[in-house]
Structure 1
Amino acid sequence: MVDRISSYSNTSKLIENNLRLQSDYAKGQQQVSSGVKSDSFSGVAKDTNRILSLESDYERLVQQTENSKIALERSEVVYDTIGTIMDSAQPIMATLNAALSGTTTTQDLLHFVENGLAQMESLLNTQVAGRYVFAGSATQTAPVDFSDADYGPAVTPSVADTDYYQGNSFVQSVETSDGYTVDYGVTADNATFEMIARAYDLVRNNPTDRATLEEAFSLLETGIDDLAELQANVSLNSQLIDDGINRNLDDLNLIDNSLADLKEVDLAEVTVRLQEIQAQLEASYSLTSTLLRLNLADYI
C-alpha cells in the first residue's frame, strides 16, 4: 500500500457514496416489490400521525357500515312483515263486511279471523339471524303469544290489551355515522298491531253479535290505515340507513385514496429513480476501481 498515491480521503468518500447509493437502490427495489414507501412507520415518519388518524377513521367507518347493513336487513324484514299483515287484514275486513250484510257464514268468518290471528302471531315472531326482530332488546324471546292467560278475551266495548306481548319497550337503533343514530325497531306491542289483533279477538269471541262485528270492522279499518303509515315510517328509516351506508362507502373510498397517497409509491417515478441510481453506481464503481488501481510507480 505504501506505493499507492495518497488518495485515502477521496477513496473513503467514494466508498461512502457507493454504500449510500446501494442503500437507496435496495430501498427502491423494495418499494417496487411491495408497492409501498416503507414497511414501517419510520420510513414515513412525517406522515405517521396522519396515517394513524386515517386508519382509525377507516376502522370506525367500516364498523358503522357493517352495523348499518345488519340494521338495514332487519328493517327490510320489518317492512315486509308489516306489508304481509296488512295484506292479510284486508280480505278479513271484506269478509267481516260481508258478515254484517249477511252474505257470508259465521263459520267462514271464524275461519278467516282465527287464521289471521295465527298468521299474525307467526309473523310478529319473525327472526333474523336467530334474533326476534319485534321483541325490543329481548331478542331471544318470542314476543307474541295470543294464548297467554293474561290476554283477552276481548268484549265490546273493548280496550287496548297488550298482555300478549313478551318483549320489552326497547327500540332498536343504529349509529350510521358519528353522532347520527337512526331508530329502526318496531315492537310487537305497537298500537297498530294491538288494534288488528283485538279486532280478530273480538270476532272469535262473539262472532254473531252485530255490535261486536261493527267494532271489529272499525278497528280493522283504522288499523289497516295505520299499518300503511307505520310501514311508510319504516321505509323512511330504511332509506336513512341506506343513505348512511352510501355516505360511509364514499368516505371509505376517500380515505383509501388518501392512505394510498401517503403510503404507496409511484412505480413509474421509482423505476426512473432506480435507473438513475444504477447509472450513478456504475460510474462510482468505475471511478473507485480506477483510484484503487493507481500506483506511484506509474508516475515516476
Structure 2
Amino acid sequence: MVTRVATFTSHTLLSNLALSNAAKLTDLSNQSASGYKSRSYAGIASDTQQLLNIEGSLTRNDQYLNNITQVKLRLQNMESATDSLTDIATRMKTLLLQGLSNSQASDLNLDEEGNQALDQVTSLLNTTLDGRYLFGGGTTDTAPVNLAAAPLPDTYFATVAGSDSATLGALGGTTAGSLDINGQTIAYTPGMTAKALANAINSLSPPPAIASVRADVGTPNYRLVIEDFSGNAMAISETGGGNLLDGLSHNPAPSTDAGYYQGDQKQLSARIDEDYSIKYGVRADDPAFASLISGLQIMSKTTDETSLRIALGHIEYAIDNLPNVTSKIGIDTKNVETVESQHQDFSVFANNAISDIENVDVPLTLAELEQYNTALQASFLAISKSADNSLVNYLR
C-alpha cells in the first residue's frame, strides 16, 4: 500500500490511533493476566510517592504487631505462672491449717511439703520464653530467683486480741515512747492502734522493716508483725522511754543470707507504637511472691507452732495479694490488645490502599480489553479502506 499526498494526513491519523489502541490493548492484556496496573513504579508514576509512604507505614505497623505478639506471649506465661503460685499457696494453707489444728506438723511432713513447694515456686518464677527470664525485670539472662540465698525474716510480733484496731496499750505499750527500727524512729502512744503503727512503719522512706496486722488463722486473734527481709538481724530498740518492745516476742531468722531476688528494679518494656513504649509485667520480688517464699521457707525449716503461724500469715498475705498481681498482668494485656486492635485496623486500611494503587479490577479490565480490541480491529479496517481511496474509485 502506497501512501499518497492526498491521503497522507488521514492515513497518519488512523495509524496513530491504531498504534495507541494497540499499546493500550497490550497494557490491558498484561494487567488482566497479572492483576497489577504495572510491573514498575513508572507505570503508576502519579501514585508512586503515596504508595511508598503507605508501604513504609505498613512495615513499621507490622513490626509493632510483632512486638505486641511477643508481649502478649510473655504476659500469658506470667499469668499462667501466677495462677499456679496461687494454687500452691492455697494447698499449703490447707496443710498448715491441718497441722496447726491437730498439732500434727511432724505427722503431715510439713517441712517436706514446704521444700517441694519451694522447688515449684522457683521453677515458676524462673519461667523463660525464647531464652529470656520473665520475672527478673530488665535482667533477662539470669534466673531471678535463687532460693539458696533466700532469707527468713527476722521477726518481732505480738498477739492482738479480737480486732486489728486494738491499741498498743493492750500489747504492753502502756507508756508513750518511740521505737528505733534499723536506724529510723517511729513515735507511738498507748492509744495508737496496732494497724496505725504498722502504717507508720511502712510509710517511712525507705521502710526500715515491713509491718502488718494479720489474722492469726485458727484463733479469734490478730498479730502485729514487724519483719526485716534483708537477711540480717533487725536492729530494734526503745529510744523514747516507752515499753512497747517488752510486749513484742522475737522470732529470729535462722539465716543471714542475701535476698533471693537476682534481678533488677526495671520493668520489661516494648515499643508498640510510634510514640508509645509500654512497661509491663511483674518481678519476682513482688511482695506477694516474697511472702509466699518466706512462708514456705519457714514451713520447710521448723515445726514450731509459733513459727508455723507466722508462716501461715505470710501465705495468707500471698493468697490475698496474688489476685492483684494477676489483675496487673490482665490490665497490661488489655492495654496491649487495645493498641493491637488499632494496628490491625490500620493494616486493613493500608493493604486496601496499596491494593487500590497497585491492582486492577480484572473483570472490568477484561471488558475494557474487549472494547479496545474491537476498536483496534476497526482501526485496521479503516486504514485498509483509506488505502483504496482514489479519484477513479470516487468517480465510480
TM-score for the superposition, normalised by structure 2 = 0.69
Q: How does 1:89-104 map to 2 (within 5 A)?
A: 89-104=89-104
Structure-2 residue corresponding to 1:252: 347
Q: Which has the higher contact order (CA 8 A, sep 6+)?
A: 1
Structure-2 residue corresponding to 1:284: 379
Structure-2 residue corresponding to 1:105: 105
* Mapped contact 1:114–1:200 kept (Cα < 8 A): yes
Mark the CA change 1:2 to 1:132 in structure 2 (over 3 Å): closer, same or farther: closer
Structure-2 residue corresponding to 1:143: 144
- Note the residue ranges of structure 1 that are not aligned, 5 or more in a row: none
Q: Which amino acid is the alignment partner of residue 112 of structure 1?
A: E
Asked which structure has the greater CA Rg, the reply is 2
* Mapped contact 1:65–1:176 kept (Cα < 8 A): yes
Q: How does 1:81-96 map to 2 (within 5 A)?
A: 81-96=81-96
Cα displacement string for residues 60-101 of structure 1 (whole angstroms, at most 9, x for unaligned residues): 111111111111011011001001011001121222233333
Question: SS of 1:176's equivalent?
Answer: strand
Q: Which amino acid is the alignment partner of residue 47 of structure 1?
A: D
Looking at structure 1, the residues matched to 380 and 36 of structure 2 have their Cα atoms a distance apart, in angstroms, of 29
Looking at structure 1, the residues matched to 48 and 393 of structure 2 have their Cα atoms a distance apart, in angstroms, of 56
1:198 is the counterpart of 2:198: no
* Mapped contact 2:105–2:303 kept (Cα < 8 A): no
Identify the match of residue 185 of structure 1 among 281, 294, 310: 281
Looking at structure 1, the residues matched to 365 and 2 of structure 2 have their Cα atoms a distance apart, in angstroms, of 43
Cα displacement string for residues 19-47 of structure 1 (whole angstroms, at most 9, x for unaligned residues): 11111111111111111222222222222
The Cα shift of 1:297 comes to 6.4
Identify which range, 164-173 or 176-185, moves more after superposition.
176-185
- Note the residue ranges of structure 2 that are not aligned, 5 or more in a row: 157-226, 231-257
Structure-2 residue corresponding to 1:19: 19
* Mapped contact 1:173–1:182 kept (Cα < 8 A): yes
The Cα shift of 1:240 comes to 2.2
Q: Which amino acid is the alignment partner of residue 82 of structure 1?
A: T
Greater helix proportion = 1
The Cα shift of 1:4 comes to 4.5
Looking at structure 1, the residues matched to 34 and 2 of structure 2 have their Cα atoms a distance apart, in angstroms, of 48
* Mapped contact 1:31–1:38 kept (Cα < 8 A): yes
* Mapped contact 2:96–2:110 kept (Cα < 8 A): yes
Question: SS of 2:102's equivalent?
Answer: coil
Looking at structure 2, the residues matched to 98 and 105 of structure 1 have their Cα atoms a distance apart, in angstroms, of 8
Question: SS of 1:156's equivalent?
Answer: strand
The Cα shift of 1:49 comes to 2.3
Looking at structure 1, the residues matched to 229 and 47 of structure 2 have their Cα atoms a distance apart, in angstroms, of 63
Cα displacement string for residues 221-279 of structure 1 (whole angstroms, at most 9, x for unaligned residues): 11111111111111121122223323322221122222222222122322222122111
Q: Which amino acid is the alignment partner of residue 376 of structure 2?
A: L
Structure-2 residue corresponding to 1:114: 115
Structure-1 residue corresponding to 2:356: 261
Looking at structure 1, the residues matched to 259 and 17 of structure 2 have their Cα atoms a distance apart, in angstroms, of 86
Looking at structure 1, the residues matched to 34 and 389 of structure 2 have their Cα atoms a distance apart, in angstroms, of 42
Looking at structure 1, the residues matched to 274 and 394 of structure 2 have their Cα atoms a distance apart, in angstroms, of 79
Looking at structure 1, the residues matched to 310 and 386 of structure 2 have their Cα atoms a distance apart, in angstroms, of 111
Structure-2 residue corresponding to 1:69: 69
The Cα shift of 1:5 comes to 5.8
1:227 is the counterpart of 2:226: no
The Cα shift of 1:218 comes to 1.4
Q: Which amino acid is the alignment partner of residue 78 of structure 1?
A: M
Question: SS of 1:31's equivalent?
Answer: helix
Mark the CA change 1:30 to 1:281 in structure 2 (over 3 Å): closer, same or farther: same
Q: How does 1:33-48 map to 2 (within 5 A)?
A: 33-48=33-48
Looking at structure 2, the residues matched to 236 and 93 of structure 1 have their Cα atoms a distance apart, in angstroms, of 28
The Cα shift of 1:54 comes to 1.5
Q: How does 1:136-175 map to 2 (within 5 A)?
A: 136-148=137-149, 151-157=150-156, 158-161=227-230, 163-175=259-271
Structure-1 residue corresponding to 2:368: 273
The count of aligned residue pairs is 297
Mark the CA change 1:241 to 1:35 in structure 2 (over 3 Å): closer, same or farther: same
Looking at structure 2, the residues matched to 47 and 264 of structure 1 have their Cα atoms a distance apart, in angstroms, of 12
* Mapped contact 1:95–1:104 kept (Cα < 8 A): no
Looking at structure 2, the residues matched to 116 and 7 of structure 1 have their Cα atoms a distance apart, in angstroms, of 103
